[in-house]
Amino acid sequence: MLEEPMHPRLRRRYLIQVLAVMATFTLVHLPQPCAPQPQLQVTVGTDKTQYSPGEKVTIAGTVLSPSAQPVPDVEVSIQVSNPLGGVARIAFETTNSSGQYTDQFSLEQQTPSGTYNVDVIASKEGYSDGVAEAIFQVQTETPDFTVTLQPEFQSITQGQTAHISVTISAKLGFNQPVELSYTNVPPLSICTFSDPVVQPNSTSTATIVTSPNTPPDYYTVTVTGTGGGKVHSASALLDIASVPDLTISISPATRSLLAGEETTFNVTLIP
């Protein structure tokens, strides 16, 4: 049995309905644009700005939301690069309930001196990654010395003498002679050293002779050592007190004598 051909008008209406259904299906299944994710806000820093080889470095920071709220359980990757472009440290930490993270490591003894870069990336599902960076310096130590004074405080009276022991201690094999000098000695006083030039790990004595007219006061005496291109100082406090006044008492206050007689008086000094 032959099918009856569709009327042209019905065929057109049928095609329009099919196209409408296909268009609706296409619109429904088109991928929807994603809403932008909030970006993590990261801070990073070190406990010091300068270190020496072998020292411990502490890196710490905080991860916050755009509304400045702490974000816990954030994966934080940390990379420290040395001045030569090499990697000095790689670590992975997780923020705590306060949004904080911490990492510690010790610099190698042979680590190069210069500027070190700390790069941090914070990642968590539902957020865009946050990044931060910081720098610190590493200064390689060289042979050096220290100056130590003993005692650091003493008290004398006007006209007396003070003695201060000056010790030069070597660091990292320092072996150059150290010349001593002084400043801020009390007025009308003279300072001398038993050894004005001291070898490392040796001691000299500074002798300060005051005058009876040296003004009573506290004086900060500074001793400076210079040697091997290095200069270091140390200070000691010197208290100069006035000489106590004396009261003279004579008894008896008067005596009557005849010509040629002798007598005695009692003289008492009272401080």
Contact of 16 with 8, CB cutoff 8 Å: no
Q: With pLDDT > 70 as the criterion, what percentage of the chain qualifies?
A: 86
202: β partners: 168
Which residue is associated with the tokens 């099918």?
3
pLDDT for 253 beyond 80: no
pLDDT digits (tens, 9 = 90+) for 110-144: 899 999 999 999 999 999 999 999 999 998 878 89
Mean pLDDT for the chain overall: 88
- Interatomic CA distance for residues 209 and 163, integer angstroms: 9
Using DSSP, state whether 103 is helix, strand or coil.
strand
pLDDT for 57 beyond 90: yes
- Integer CA distances (angstroms), 1 to 4, 5, 7, 8, 94, in order: 9, 12, 18, 21, 78
Contact of 157 with 241, CB cutoff 8 Å: yes
- Integer CA distances (angstroms), 151 to 79, 163, 207, in order: 48, 9, 13
Which residue is associated with the tokens 């709220």?
69
Cα dihedral 146, 152, 156, 160 in deg (nearest 10)? -10
